[in-house]
Chain A
């Protein structure tokens, strides 16, 4: 299983003639049966298994998101039921409905962050393309790679277990002392969820070790550090963060588990501990984790912008170095989550200072992408539309970060919907749009099938406009003071508290919040429409899609030099690395609906 079958074209010269497709021996059909998948060491199959799991998590997190938005469509209790609590003297008691809301937003955040966004691009596309981009047969440690997948699966199972034992209402951040006491965190899922996140951390570390070792050890002849595709730089920088930050999360969660299970009190103020220390620990991981989410996305966008502009990426060195700069500076800014927590003013000033520094490399990338498009030959296919959408949403996300990096404005805006909107623009806008761009870009390579372009663009339209409609109004209500994680903002709550008072001072806010929440909910359901169309397009592609050519986009990184889908060990014979952004040698072939290299004799209707 580990040695490729001898093929007749073993001795033909590089590159192989195009037109190899699904019917040929490839990694999908090389061996059959469920066991051949579950026990595979092949990085591409592991990537696909990740894809199945991660898309399921995205679906689950998405359901919780829609529950949140449906509940917030108007003030008061709308759709969320009261969850049963326990039986007291023969009578069933119920949690207040706000507890249900608290669960739903916690599970949305925790599932999306730990199970979807963090592993999404590195584990699926990193695993799939990194070895092929290196011209290698596999990652450096194939067994660790499989172990990493099973750790991910175990973590995911524990998360589902947290839901099964009653759920979780701590917020995805597990802030202490809330999360360490049963009387505060009223649902029983804290232990399984933190244990799950702990295990997911190990999965992340193993992936990081694999990527760093692969990039150091497996680069082919001719591929110097500065001739690597930018995707590899991005994955390398991501892996550095995974390795340096995740262990701190691991020990943090271990301490939290020790506090809950054994009554130790590092973070418990009643036992001499410090709850703010937990926040330092948590954000020491979780801020760099934001860059775990965004750096691979930037790598994807760098590839796609260049390929679909058919022009060499502009300022390669600046983009590559800015990835590393983000990875390193990202470790110096965690305290900007805690400007109002009571940390010292000096600490806040220093963290604010570095926060502004880390804004610069991101801005540099955006300008470089624009310069790449300038005087290019821009092909508006689905991947490019998503990549351009990424620039749109990431620019908004980045610019609104300036409000939050500045101390004076952060005090007003933090913990409001402004923050919610900001991190959704960065994390969802950043990662999900790049993720979708990557799905459309590498789909033909992964499955050997093309998808319906019109359907893809229609889905893009709903996702893009739905996304902006969901999150832009949240900036407005946030800057007007709508706090985050509120189950309700209705006047009834105020009337109950102040039966005799004139409540005119609050009514304007309530109207504004209601309007913004309505728009936001409508946007969320437009996104749902988009994702449903997208699912239809992709399923249709798998079932009935046209066979994909070797290189449908005219790209030049090594994965486009092998067949679609690739053979078991990626290449029938070793490729030679060249400049991944030099597209001159590839030309459109109408018969193939793809690009072929100039020197190659036309195979003549391989399709």
Chain B
């Protein structure tokens, strides 16, 4: 009964289109309370305005026509039935809440790490291990469990289309369960205030049609450059400009058919590096044009001395940049706060190489 009613009511203007199995109960309750509220609001305000008009005082000394001071029966009449109504709300609310707060069996478990101000989702790979991405990809009609943890302050994962929200609290693991029902793309917001770029801590949820989730995972989890054989990878890594890259590609094409196919998907390291920096939200704090933000700019950083909060200046070489990404608190640049989160476990060595290649280009 709830579901049919919900179907009739959704599509109305107050809630965004829903896309999860738990949403219909919540939406039904929302609209039920909504219509009841409208009824009571209109009743109360209409009576108030009607009384104010009907019994308006024409002369300051005009006496009232009524003299009633109380009526226990009437008082109980507007105390007890509302109590019954709200108890009903409580019950439906609890039932709907349990859909989100209780585990689904056999759910796909995705670990979610949040930090100022980005999300990273760790997808389990079929052969073990995980692949991390900054967008949430989920299969349609299969239950999903998100395990939430934060490395710094409290964030909150909010997907309006799924009607789910859960705080991401440092020091504890929170869980949320849902089952997407509509393939498509949806916004995901951070809903707990977390500082400067709180309003930019948004990302996309992609619900894949049956079978496509596995395809996406297989494709996304391996990048072309990471699959290069070691010797070729070292050559690729040294590429410093478009001309070098074109030469490298044609070299690959001449080597074998398989490598030629790979070369088609390949991008130069500094382009990959820029993409990774964007995904990891590096540009929230680091500028590339020299403008001062809350962290040192990348422009002209490569191989230049960096003044330290303690000790002598350090040259920004590969080791320094690598350390700054994996253990940001180790060396603090003079004048800045130790506020960068670590990317340990969220970025591979080869990805760091690409980021360094990108920083090299920012002269």
Consider the complex of A and B and state whether they touch directly, i.e. have CB atoms less than 8 Å apart: yes
Tell yes or no: B204 within 8 A of A by CB.
yes
Is there an interface contact between B61 and A378, defined as CB atoms closer than 8 Å? no
Is there an interface contact between A406 and B154, defined as CB atoms closer than 8 Å? no
Of B124-132, B194-202, B220-228, B261-269, which stretch is located at the interface? B194-202
Is there an interface contact between A406 and B93, defined as CB atoms closer than 8 Å? yes
Is there an interface contact between B40 and A395, defined as CB atoms closer than 8 Å? yes
Tell yes or no: A56 within 8 A of B by CB.
no
Chain B residues whose C-beta falls within 8 Å of the C-beta of A175 in the assembled complex: 153-154, 192-193
Of A247-255, A290-298, A452-460, A473-481, which stretch is located at the interface? A473-481
CA distance A411 to B37 in the complex (A): 19
Which of these, B47, B99, B154, contacts A370 with CB under 8 Å?
Answer: B47
Interface positions, chain A 344-402, Cβ under 8 Å from B, are 345, 348-349, 352-353, 356-357, 359-360, 363-364, 366-368, 370-371, 373-380, 388, 391-392, 395-396, 399-400, 402
Q: Given A479-B15, A483-B190, A182–B337 Cβ distance below 8 Å?
A: yes
Interface positions, chain A 450-500, Cβ under 8 Å from B, are 476, 479-481, 483-489, 493-494, 496-499
Q: How many residues of B contact A (CB 8 A)?
A: 104
Q: Given A376-B55, A396-B41, A498-B204, A95–B294 Cβ distance below 8 Å?
A: yes
Per-position binary interface string of chain B over residues 85-103, scored 1 when its CB falls under 8 Å from any chain A CB and 0 otherwise? 0110110111111111110
Q: Given A94-B292, A356-B90, A395-B41, A274–B167 Cβ distance below 8 Å?
A: no
Tell yes or no: B346 within 8 A of A by CB.
no
Per-position binary interface string of chain B over residues 289-309, scored 1 when its CB falls under 8 Å from any chain A CB and 0 otherwise? 000111000000000000100
CA distance A414 to B26 in the complex (A): 13
Chain A residues whose C-beta falls within 8 Å of the C-beta of B66 in the assembled complex: 311, 374-376
Is there an interface contact between B196 and A98, defined as CB atoms closer than 8 Å? yes
Is there an interface contact between A509 and B187, defined as CB atoms closer than 8 Å? yes
Is there an interface contact between B198 and A98, defined as CB atoms closer than 8 Å? yes
CA distance A360 to B185 in the complex (A): 42
CA distance A273 to B189 in the complex (A): 27
Tell yes or no: A429 within 8 A of B by CB.
no
Which of these, B74, B94, B170, B202, contacts A275 with CB under 8 Å?
Answer: B170
Is there an interface contact between B55 and A377, defined as CB atoms closer than 8 Å? yes
CA distance A143 to B79 in the complex (A): 43
Is there an interface contact between B154 and A378, defined as CB atoms closer than 8 Å? no
Find the residue from A175, A313, A411, A493 having the highest chain B CB count within 10 A: A411
Q: Given A186-B196, A340-B167, A408-B95, A588–B57 Cβ distance below 8 Å?
A: no
CA distance A131 to B247 in the complex (A): 92
Which of these, B195, B202, B335, contacts A184 with CB under 8 Å?
Answer: B195
Tell yes or no: B163 within 8 A of A by CB.
yes
Tell yes or no: B210 within 8 A of A by CB.
no
Tell yes or no: B172 within 8 A of A by CB.
yes
Per-position binary interface string of chain A over residues 408-439, scored 1 when its CB falls under 8 Å from any chain B CB and 0 otherwise? 11111011100000000000000000000000
Nearest-Cβ distance from residue B45 to partner chain A, whole angstroms: 6
CA distance A366 to B48 in the complex (A): 10
CA distance A380 to B82 in the complex (A): 30
Tell yes or no: B351 within 8 A of A by CB.
no
Is there an interface contact between A493 and B199, defined as CB atoms closer than 8 Å? yes
Is there an interface contact between A399 and B37, defined as CB atoms closer than 8 Å? yes
Tell yes or no: B56 within 8 A of A by CB.
yes
Q: Which residue of B lies closest to A407 (CB)?
A: B97
Is there an interface contact between B154 and A177, defined as CB atoms closer than 8 Å? yes
Nearest-Cβ distance from residue B305 to partner chain A, whole angstroms: 12
Chain B residues whose C-beta falls within 8 Å of the C-beta of A276 in the assembled complex: 169, 172
Is there an interface contact between B89 and A378, defined as CB atoms closer than 8 Å? no
Of A21-29, A196-204, A315-323, A531-539, which stretch is located at the interface? A315-323
CA distance A510 to B183 in the complex (A): 21
Is there an interface contact between A356 and B86, defined as CB atoms closer than 8 Å? yes
CA distance A509 to B185 in the complex (A): 13
Chain A residues whose C-beta falls within 8 Å of the C-beta of B293 in the assembled complex: 93, 96
Q: Given A363-B78, A481-B160, A178–B194 Cβ distance below 8 Å?
A: yes
Q: Which residue of A lies closest to B159 (CB)?
A: A481
Q: Given A375-B65, A395-B41, A408–B55 Cβ distance below 8 Å?
A: no
Q: Given A102-B196, A182-B337, A342-B174, A410–B202 Cβ distance below 8 Å?
A: no
Chain A residues whose C-beta falls within 8 Å of the C-beta of B163 in the assembled complex: 411-412
Per-position binary interface string of chain B over residues 136-168, scored 1 when its CB falls under 8 Å from any chain A CB and 0 otherwise? 000000000000000011101010100111110
Per-position binary interface string of chain B over residues 27-47, scored 1 when its CB falls under 8 Å from any chain A CB and 0 otherwise? 001100110010011001101
Per-position binary interface string of chain A over residues 296-310, scored 1 when its CB falls under 8 Å from any chain B CB and 0 otherwise? 000000000000011
Chain A residues whose C-beta falls within 8 Å of the C-beta of B310 in the assembled complex: none
Chain B residues whose C-beta falls within 8 Å of the C-beta of A177 in the assembled complex: 152-154, 170
Nearest-Cβ distance from residue B15 to partner chain A, whole angstroms: 6
CA distance A314 to B64 in the complex (A): 13
Find the residue from B60, B71, B74, B95 having the highest chain A CB count within 10 A: B60
Per-position binary interface string of chain B over residues 223-236, scored 1 when its CB falls under 8 Å from any chain A CB and 0 otherwise? 00000000000000
Nearest-Cβ distance from residue B173 to partner chain A, whole angstroms: 8
Tell yes or no: A606 within 8 A of B by CB.
no
Q: How many residues of A contact B (CB 8 A)?
A: 114
Tell yes or no: A554 within 8 A of B by CB.
yes
Is there an interface contact between B164 and A269, defined as CB atoms closer than 8 Å? no
CA distance A377 to B278 in the complex (A): 68
Q: Given A184-B152, A370-B47, A406-B90, A485–B193 Cβ distance below 8 Å?
A: yes
Nearest-Cβ distance from residue A467 to partner chain B, whole angstroms: 15
Tell yes or no: A559 within 8 A of B by CB.
no
Tell yes or no: B312 within 8 A of A by CB.
no
Interface positions, chain B 308-325, Cβ under 8 Å from A, are none
Is there an interface contact between A505 and B187, defined as CB atoms closer than 8 Å? yes
Is there an interface contact between B165 and A411, defined as CB atoms closer than 8 Å? yes
Tell yes or no: B215 within 8 A of A by CB.
no
Tell yes or no: A501 within 8 A of B by CB.
yes
Is there an interface contact between B154 and A310, defined as CB atoms closer than 8 Å? no
Tell yes or no: A165 within 8 A of B by CB.
no
Chain A residues whose C-beta falls within 8 Å of the C-beta of B338 in the assembled complex: 183
CA distance A169 to B195 in the complex (A): 8
Tell yes or no: A3 within 8 A of B by CB.
no
Is there an interface contact between A405 and B93, defined as CB atoms closer than 8 Å? yes
Tell yes or no: B105 within 8 A of A by CB.
no
Is there an interface contact between B165 and A414, defined as CB atoms closer than 8 Å? yes
Chain B residues whose C-beta falls within 8 Å of the C-beta of A227 in the assembled complex: none
Which of these, B61, B90, B99, B204, contacts A353 with CB under 8 Å?
Answer: B90
Q: Which residue of A lies closest to B90 (CB)?
A: A356
Is there an interface contact between A86 and B335, defined as CB atoms closer than 8 Å? yes
Q: Which residue of B lies closest to A341 (CB)?
A: B167
Interface positions, chain A 55-111, Cβ under 8 Å from B, are 85-86, 88-89, 91-96, 98-99, 102
CA distance A581 to B100 in the complex (A): 52
Tell yes or no: A171 within 8 A of B by CB.
yes
Is there an interface contact between B196 and A360, defined as CB atoms closer than 8 Å? no
Nearest-Cβ distance from residue B74 to partner chain A, whole angstroms: 7
Chain B residues whose C-beta falls within 8 Å of the C-beta of A270 in the assembled complex: 170-171
Q: Which residue of A lies closest to B63 (CB)?
A: A377
Which of these, A185, A340, A476, contacts B165 with CB under 8 Å?
Answer: A340
Tell yes or no: B11 within 8 A of A by CB.
no
Nearest-Cβ distance from residue B276 to partner chain A, whole angstroms: 13
Is there an interface contact between A407 and B94, defined as CB atoms closer than 8 Å? yes
Chain A residues whose C-beta falls within 8 Å of the C-beta of B172 in the assembled complex: 269, 274, 276, 342
Which of these, A186, A371, A380, A479, contacts B14 with CB under 8 Å?
Answer: A479
Chain B residues whose C-beta falls within 8 Å of the C-beta of A95 in the assembled complex: 196, 294
Chain A residues whose C-beta falls within 8 Å of the C-beta of B96 in the assembled complex: 406-409
Tell yes or no: A544 within 8 A of B by CB.
no
Is there an interface contact between B202 and A178, defined as CB atoms closer than 8 Å? no
Tell yes or no: A312 within 8 A of B by CB.
yes
Chain A residues whose C-beta falls within 8 Å of the C-beta of B41 in the assembled complex: 395-396, 399
Chain A residues whose C-beta falls within 8 Å of the C-beta of B193 in the assembled complex: 102, 171, 175, 178, 484-485
Q: List 10 A-B contacts (CB under 8 A).
A: A93-B335, A98-B198, A175-B192, A186-B195, A364-B78, A373-B48, A395-B40, A406-B92, A409-B29, A502-B185
Give me 5 other A-B pairs in contact (C-beta within 8 A), A88-B292, A342-B166 excluded. Answer: A349-B94, A402-B33, A403-B33, A407-B97, A497-B200
The 8 A-B residue pairs with the shortest CB-CB distance, nearest first, are A269-B171, A408-B96, A375-B66, A406-B93, A481-B160, A183-B339, A407-B97, A93-B292
